[in-house]
Amino acid sequence: MSRKVVITCALTGGADSVSKSPAVPVTPEQIANSAIEAANAGAAVVHIHVRDPETGKASMEQGLYTEVVERIRGNGADMVINLTTGPGARFVPGPDDPQVPGEGTTLAAPAVRMRHIEALKPELCSLDVATMSFGEQVFMNVPAHLREMADRAKATNVKPELEVFDVGHIELAKALIAQGHVAAPPLFQLCLGISYGAPANPETMLHMRNALPEGATWSAFGISRQQFPMAAQTVLLGGHVRVGLEDNLYLGPGELAPGNGALVERAVGIVEILGASVASPAEAREIFGLVH
């Protein structure tokens, strides 16, 4: 039998991409419909951010998450819901006093960043095990906050997907596992090509895969033009695949993707041409350890 590969679709993210592509979903209805489109195309998992329907900017509004999840669940489509906990971690030093948060800072307490997880109880939530320069901002996830967020996920019976952007982040994730904050076997997401994290190339992916703890399940993605090359590399190295408009807006040079479904269809083709097969949502739950 061919190996089963789970495809995750990251639907919208929070970056300023709405102005760059009309396909990026913004409203809860658009995000939910895009999730269903991605699932119908072959994605077993959908990774969800929400946006302010008026501005298109990233949002932490719990009511928006609730509407998206209720629309998906009400449709009856089978998919694993993965809600982000990334918003609330941005810090911008003030121009006159770097100790004073500047415009763009979104720092929020772990309880605030986890409230939609505790309320909606998705099967998965992301946990960004990373403090790093994110363009001109700092993406700040200190160990104490990560411990509390992981504990809150564990108490809610939600599995964290450990998002790592460089090798040192894997070492911090290992500490969270060893300390009992994250249950084994862990699920990792290798995030490649984001400035200023690990670059999206085969050597880096192999190095990060080899640094994972024994028994870990892992997925990976590259952003922008590296989305599909990294998807292929992931399949070859034994991992699972993430695509979607959060990470990449294009099907090819100068060709905007018409929606998340088209990106998932391309990923399905990559998986199958490399001799693997696409996992169903039920199979994804088994592979990711979500069946209790």
pLDDT in tens, 215-231: 999 999 999 999 999 99
Find residue 4's DSSP bridge partners. Answer: 277
CB 200 within 8 A of CB 223: yes
For the stretch 277-288, pLDDT in tens is: 999 999 999 999
Q: What is the C-alpha radius of gyration for the chain, rounded to an integer number of angstroms?
A: 18
Q: Which residues, including other chains, have CB under 8 Å from residue 80's CB and lie 6 or more apart?
A: 44, 45, 46, 123, 124, 281, 284, 285, 288, 290
> For the whole prediction, is pTM greater than 0.85?
yes
Per residue in 256-266, pLDDT (tens digit) is: 999 999 999 99
Alpha helices in the chain (DSSP H): 28-41, 62-75, 110-120, 143-155, 167-178, 202-211, 227-237, 260-273, 281-287
pLDDT at site 291: 77
Domain boundaries, the chain: 4-287
* Rounded Cα–Cα distance for residues 147 and 85 (Å): 13
Eight-class DSSP state of 228:
H
Per-residue burial over 26-64, b = 16 or more CB atoms within 10 Å of its CB, e = otherwise: bbbebbbbbbbbbbebbbbbbbbbbbebeebebbbeeeb
CB-CB contact of 159 with 167 (8 Å): no
Closest C-alpha to 215, from 289, 290, 127, 125: 289
User: What superfamily would CATH give domain 4-287?
Assistant: Aldolase class I (3.20.20.70)
Confidence of residue 135 (pLDDT cuts 50, 70, 90): confident
C-alpha of 279 from chain center: 18
- State the pLDDT at residue 104: 92
Q: Side by side, which strands form the sheet with 137-139?
A: 90-91, 137-139, 132-134
